[in-house]
């Protein structure tokens, strides 16, 4: 019996997801702001057959949680712009999805859409967008257009705090509009709009460019895009979600939703909540939503050694590392076994967060991936030429496409 393909993503962030990772011997803290460092990480992932990498970003310096901003001197602070970095990587490393994080809260959706389209052109069809909102007041202060009160997502989980819940709905409603604008703009040029006919002097067919005419609560966008339709038509949209409102955003607009189960029971609960969200909101994307699980990964030769390595990092940090995702500190074989259990439970893929870079990335690619390969879980179409094809999504139809007169005549003749 053949197994459904199981997809693998790697979440890249600084020196790794543990805040003390930059202090271990294998880290490269001096290279964190060099493009070559990031290219080397993606080359490692691509060579192992990883489907995509994501690149973290935000509208402010890194901080912990959603409380008061703290400029700690013992953690990595500062990063390269994810979208610009993604374009650099994409030009050098072919055949792997490059999915930068771009925040919707303070970014004009037109700029986001054209930036992701440009990445799709540069990568020749391997672009994606990890959608993120900004609920941090210090990030809003960088832009100065609005004030955002202190946000504590934990207080919104039950819906008891009406003010917090309203803010969450506002931020994610704006994100939904931003994705809708992007998707319309990505379609605003038909595939054959660019003619380049020197004898007639026609570079484009004006009839194949379309206004998107979006009107929403937060912005209006006329269109069309300034970028011609890109190889995928619709780059892959990834949303990380933890509760009701983000689940609704993912169900309505995402291609992939990232979830963070901490146990089999928790996974079942999340899948149920996603199912409930499907009953409440209308899906605006033709392909079914793909569910990916997330985990922080630290790998050693034995489970005891992995626990000791995690404890050593925690000691350097001065406190146990806490994550929204489960922390898998274990052997490569045991990590692979957990991923396969998720697959059997209905999860379509995983996005793994290496605790230490490049160390745990290499232990994923050289330890976990071979184990998964042996099961056939990572079988892929050999001729996939875009990220959409690699992940098994259907070709993206253009909502504005119109039939040429000769095409209409053929259709009419066939119906006689």
Q: Residue with structure tokens 């999805």?
A: 97
| Number of domain units in the chain | 1
For residue 310, being part of any structural domain is answered with no
pLDDT tens-place string over residues 332-345: 999 999 999 999 99
pLDDT tens-place string over residues 367-404: 999 999 999 999 888 789 999 999 999 999 999 997 55
For residue 312, being part of any structural domain is answered with no
Query: First vs last Cα of the chain: how many Å apart?
Result: 45
Residue 169 parent element (H or E): helix 162-187
User: What is the token pair recorded at 248?
Assistant: 């609704």
Specify whether the CB–CB gap between 225 and 264 falls below 8 A.
Answer: no
**Sign for the pseudo-dihedral over CA of 174, 177, 181, 183:** positive
At 409, is the pLDDT very low, low, confident or very high (cuts 50, 70, 90)?
very low
Query: Which amino acids are annotated as binding site, given as ranges?
Result: 57, 101
User: What letter would DSSP give residue 285?
Assistant: S
Query: Is 244 a residue whose pLDDT tops 80?
Result: yes
Structural domain of 399: 33-288+381-414
Cis peptide before 59 (omega within 30 of 0): no
Q: What span, in angstroms and rounded, lies between the C-alpha atoms of 334 and 326?
A: 14
Query: Is 8 a residue whose pLDDT tops 50?
Result: yes
Q: Which of 95, 105, 104 is nearest to 127 (CA)?
A: 95
Query: Is 415 a residue whose pLDDT tops 70?
Result: no
pLDDT tens-place string over residues 159-185: 567 888 888 899 999 999 999 999 999
For residue 318, being part of any structural domain is answered with no
At 45, is the pLDDT very low, low, confident or very high (cuts 50, 70, 90)?
very high
Specify whether the CB–CB gap between 331 and 366 falls below 8 A.
Answer: no
Q: Which of 168, 210, 177 is nearest to 108 (CA)?
A: 177
Query: Which amino acids are annotated as binding site for FMN, given as ranges?
Result: 57, 101
What are the Cα distances from residue 89, in Å, to 41, 50, 230? 10, 15, 18
For residue 300, being part of any structural domain is answered with no
For residue 308, being part of any structural domain is answered with no
Q: Which residue would you say has higher pLDDT here, 195 or 141?
A: 195
Question: What is the structure's pLDDT at 405?
Answer: 53
For residue 1, being part of any structural domain is answered with no
CATH code of 81's domain: 3.20.20.30
For residue 23, being part of any structural domain is answered with no
Q: What span, in angstroms and rounded, lies between the C-alpha atoms of 193 and 81?
A: 31
**What's the mean per-residue pLDDT of the chain?**
92
Average pLDDT of 249-266? 97
For residue 361, being part of any structural domain is answered with no
């Amino acid at each position: 019996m053949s197994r459904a393909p199981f997809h693998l993503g790697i979440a890249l962030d600084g020196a790794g997801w543990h805040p003390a990772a930059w202090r271990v011997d294998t880290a490269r803290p001096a290279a964190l702001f060099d493009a070559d460092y990031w290219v080397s990480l993606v080359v490692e992932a691509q060579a192992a057959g990883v489907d995509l990498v994501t690149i973290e970003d935000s509208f402010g310096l890194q901080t912990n949680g959603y409380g008061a901003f703290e400029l700690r001197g013992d953690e990595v602070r500062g990063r390269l712009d994810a979208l610009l970095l993604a374009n650099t990587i994409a030009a050098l490393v072919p055949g792997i999805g490059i999915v930068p994080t771009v925040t919707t809260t303070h970014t004009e959706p037109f700029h986001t859409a054209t930036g992701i389209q440009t990445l799709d052109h540069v990568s020749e069809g391997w672009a994606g967008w990890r959608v993120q909102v900004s609920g941090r007041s210090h990030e809003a202060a960088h832009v100065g257009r609005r004030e955002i009160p202190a946000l504590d997502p934990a207080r919104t989980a039950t819906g008891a705090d009406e003010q917090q819940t309203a803010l969450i709905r506002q931020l994610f409603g704006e994100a939904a509009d931003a994705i809708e604008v992007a998707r319309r703009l990505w379609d605003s040029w038909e595939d054959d709009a660019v003619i380049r006919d020197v004898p007639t002097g026609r570079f484009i067919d004006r009839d194949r460019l379309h206004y998107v005419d979006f009107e929403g609560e937060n912005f209006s966008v006329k269109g069309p895009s300034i970028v011609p339709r890109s190889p995928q038509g619709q780059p892959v949209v990834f949303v990380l979600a933890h509760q009701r409102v983000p689940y609704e955003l993912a169900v309505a607009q995402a291609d992939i939703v990232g979830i963070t189960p901490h146990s089999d029971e928790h996974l079942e609960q999340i899948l149920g909540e996603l199912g409930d969200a499907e009953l409440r909101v209308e899906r605006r994307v033709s392909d079914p939503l793909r569910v990916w699980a997330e985990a922080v990964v630290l790998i050693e030769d034995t489970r005891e050694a992995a626990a000791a390595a995690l404890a050593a990092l925690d000691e350097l940090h001065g406190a146990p590392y806490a994550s929204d995702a489960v922390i898998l500190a274990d052997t490569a074989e045991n990590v692979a076994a957990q991923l396969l259990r998720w697959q059997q439970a209905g999860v379509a893929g995983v996005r793994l967060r290496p605790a230490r870079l490049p160390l745990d990335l290499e232990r994923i690619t050289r330890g976990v991936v071979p184990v998964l390969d042996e099961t056939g879980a990572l079988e892929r179409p050999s001729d996939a030429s875009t990220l959409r094809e690699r992940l098994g999504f259907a070709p993206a139809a253009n909502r504005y496409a119109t039939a040429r007169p000769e095409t209409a005549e053929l259709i009419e003749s066939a119906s006689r």
